[in-house]
Structures are given as C-alpha cells and as structure tokens.
C-alpha cells in the first residue's frame, strides 16, 4: 500500500469513527430512549386499572409473572407488555420491543407488523389494531419471560435498563451503516448553529413542520442542537438565514430572500466513492448556478483522492473546498476559515 493510500485509509477511519460517535449520541436523543423509564414510572400509579387475568394468552410465563409481582423493585408494567396499554400508548412499542431485545426488522419478520412508523409517532396519532396489540404483546412477553427464566430469578431493575440501552445501541449501530452521509450533514449543521451562538447572532430555529419558529434559548440550546433534524434552518439577528435541505444541503439566504451561497456536504468514508461524491456535488452546484449564475459554492468533503483533489482545484463550479476531517479537529485553521467565509457571506464579520 502506497503512502497516499495509507493516508486516505487513515482519514477514512478517522472521519468514520468521529461521525459514528456523534450519530450514536444524536440517535439516542432522537429515539428518546432515556425518557422511557420515567414514562413507565408515571404509569405505575394506574397499574391497578390493568387486569392480568389473561396473561397466559399474552405470552407471560407463570414463574416469571410470580417473580416480578413479588419483586421489591420491579412492577408488572415495567416488565410485561399489556395489550390494552399498547393500544392506549402505541409509542411504548419501542420500550417493550427494546427490553425484549428485538429489532424493528425482527418484529416485522416474526409477526408481520411494521412498528417503525408507530414508534416514531410522538403524538400517538396512529392507532394500533386489537389483533396487532395481541400479537406484539405475545412476542414481547415471550422474550421477556425467557430472559427472566434464564436469570434464575435474579433479574433486577438495573438489568432491565441495561437491556433497554443495549437493544437501542444495536438498532443505532444497524442504522449507522447507511447513515454516514446524513450524519456529516448534521454535524456541519450543528457546527454552524454553535458558531452562530458564539458570534451572538442566533435568533431562532425554523421548524420543519408548519410555519412555527422556536426562539433561541441558551438554556435549551443543547436540546435544540441535539434535535437538529426537526429544524429547516435558523434565523439570524441581522435578518439573514441558513437553510438545511438537500441539493444543496445548506443555503445561505440574504435579507431580501436571494441565495448568497450554497454548501454541499459529502462525508463518505470510502476512497473508492470519492469521484462519485464529487460528481453529486457538481450536479447540485450546477443547478444552483443555473438559478443564480454567480452564486458562490462551497464543498465540504472527506476522503478526497489525489485525482478528485486535482479536479476540484481546477473546477470553476466550486468556489471553495474544505476537508471535513479538518473542520472537526481541535483548533483547526480550516474551521476558522470556513466559518469566516460563511458568516461574511451573510454580512456578519
């Protein structure tokens, strides 16, 4: 392996693991996994309103049931899935599926029910049919019963929470393989939001749903940045804005609504795909230049081969280029140069 090839491989691995770390953190927030124990705890006050007389038909083993009902730390609703509760709160599918250590894909395969949309339905607008609730309860309870039985009556609340996080981690890891490009975009979006905050120019977040905006709140900034996927962009106090979309990934908008620059983010870690990612960026920039012939174009990419680097440096369609790996490095000169270019285009010095 040549020196250039070793350098590319090292960069590919560096960007891959950096983006993987931020992706895991973002998805943990997005899935809201850490909130489930509290949601279940709030339901315990009404646990007496749920009958377990038909537990055998719901896949609950008698030994496991007796162990939990006499356990000093655990409650029935924490451990076993009640079909009525599932119909009342379909979003709890994610909780019971995870403590049963089942993936969304495995549930779909075993009981022919797609739970992904239901789990993502924050406002419980999607109804769960009675037969679906029964099938899912049986599946989850059979797996949890097996776990409790295999523990030889030593199952604890800490282990329950451990299963919840372990299963969520496995799901995030499965999603990661196809998400490096998306995560690169989200990382650059978060960098821009944080920089706007540091420059004291962040005004509000533009929601992706409807026409609502959320005022910038320093006390809520971590939550807002973690949920960057919920926003279409940000409003700056000088009446300009930064929009997040696709083709281009990021648009810088002037006070009169015109586009002052477009940014494409290509975070693929495979050197073999560098030429393809370059071509995709050119396509997006070509469309932007068709609409605004003189608009500056900024490419943020990783793992660029020498051939692609030469093409970029000679390409009139690309105004400036930044290495994503360098933008994510501590005390990076490239980071400062990138941010100064972006915010000067928006009239902020």
Helix (H) or strand (E) holding 226, with range, is helix 221-226
Which pLDDT does position 5 carry in this prediction? Answer: 59
Which pLDDT does position 30 carry in this prediction? Answer: 81
Nearest to 262 by CA among 216, 299, 304: 299
Q: In what order do the strands lie in the sheet with 231-236?
A: 213-215, 202-207, 231-236, 241-244, 250-253, 259-266, 297-301, 320-323
Nearest to 91 by CA among 151, 53, 43, 141: 43
Which pLDDT does position 175 carry in this prediction? Answer: 78
Which pLDDT does position 212 carry in this prediction? Answer: 81
Contacts of 302 (CB under 8 A, 6+ apart): 11, 12, 15, 184, 266, 267, 268, 269, 323, 324, 325
Peptide bond into 248 cis (omega under 30): yes
Asked if 11 and 325 touch (Cβ cutoff 8 Å), the reply is yes
Query: Side-chain half-sphere of 35: how many Cα atoms within 13 Å?
Result: 9
**pLDDT mean for each 10 residues of the chain (349 residues):** 65 77 85 89 94 97 96 95 94 94 93 89 80 96 96 89 91 77 88 94 90 86 82 95 91 96 86 82 92 94 82 92 85 91 95
Q: What are the φ/ψ torsions at residue 211 (nearest 5 degrees)?
A: -120, 20
Which pLDDT does position 269 carry in this prediction? Answer: 67
Q: Evaluate if pTM is beyond 0.85.
A: no
**What gap in Å lies between CA 188 and CA 191, rounded to an integer?**
5
DSSP string, 72-123: SS--HHHHS--HHHHHH-GGGHHHHHHHTT--HHHHHHHH----HHHHT-TT
Which pLDDT does position 198 carry in this prediction? Answer: 94
Asked if 216 and 155 touch (Cβ cutoff 8 Å), the reply is no
Which pLDDT does position 9 carry in this prediction? Answer: 63
Nearest to 342 by CA among 155, 221, 207, 201: 201
Beta carbons within 10 angstroms of residue 55's beta carbon? 19
Q: Vertex 342, ends 338 and 346: CA angle to 5°?
A: 165
């Amino acid at each position: 392996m040549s020196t250039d090839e070793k350098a590319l491989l090292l960069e590919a691995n560096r960007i891959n693991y950096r983006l993987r770390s931020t992706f895991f953190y973002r998805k943990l927030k997005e899935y809201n996994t850490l909130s489930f124990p509290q949601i279940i705890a709030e339901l315990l006050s009404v646990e007496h309103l749920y009958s377990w007389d038909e537990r055998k038909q719901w896949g609950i083993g008698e030994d496991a049931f007796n162990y939990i009902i006499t356990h000093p730390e655990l409650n029935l609703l924490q451990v076993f899935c009640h079909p009525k509760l599932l119909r009342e709160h379909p979003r709890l599918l994610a909780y019971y599926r995870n403590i049963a250590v089942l993936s969304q894909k495995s549930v779909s395969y075993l009981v022919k029910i797609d739970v992904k949309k239901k789990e993502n339905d924050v406002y419980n607008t999607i109804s769960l049919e009675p037969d679906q609730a029964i099938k899912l309860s049986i599946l989850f309870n059979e797996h949890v019963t097996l776990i409790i039985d295999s523990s030889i009556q030593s199952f604890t609340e800490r282990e329950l929470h451990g299963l919840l996080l372990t299963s969520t981690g496995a799901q995030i890891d499965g999603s990661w393989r196809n998400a490096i490009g998306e995560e690169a975009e989200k990382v650059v979006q978060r960098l821009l939001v944080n920089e706007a905050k540091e420059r004291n120019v962040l005004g509000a977040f533009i929601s992706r749903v409807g026409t609502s905006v959320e005022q910038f709140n320093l006390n809520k900034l971590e939550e807002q940045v973690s949920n960057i996927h919920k926003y279409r962009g940000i409003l700056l106090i000088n009446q300009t804005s930064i929009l997040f979309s696709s083709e281009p990934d990021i648009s810088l908008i002037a006070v009169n609504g015109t586009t002052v620059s477009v940014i494409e983010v290509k975070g693929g870690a495979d050197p073999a795909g560098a030429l393809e990612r370059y071509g995709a960026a050119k396509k997006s920039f070509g469309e932007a230049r068709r609409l605004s012939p003189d608009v500056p174009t900024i490419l943020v990419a990783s793992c660029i081969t020498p051939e692609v680097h030469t093409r970029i440096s000679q390409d009139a369609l690309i105004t400036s280029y930044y290495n994503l790996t360098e933008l994510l490095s501590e005390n990076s000169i490239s980071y400062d140069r990138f941010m100064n270019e972006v915010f000067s285009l928006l009239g902020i010095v």
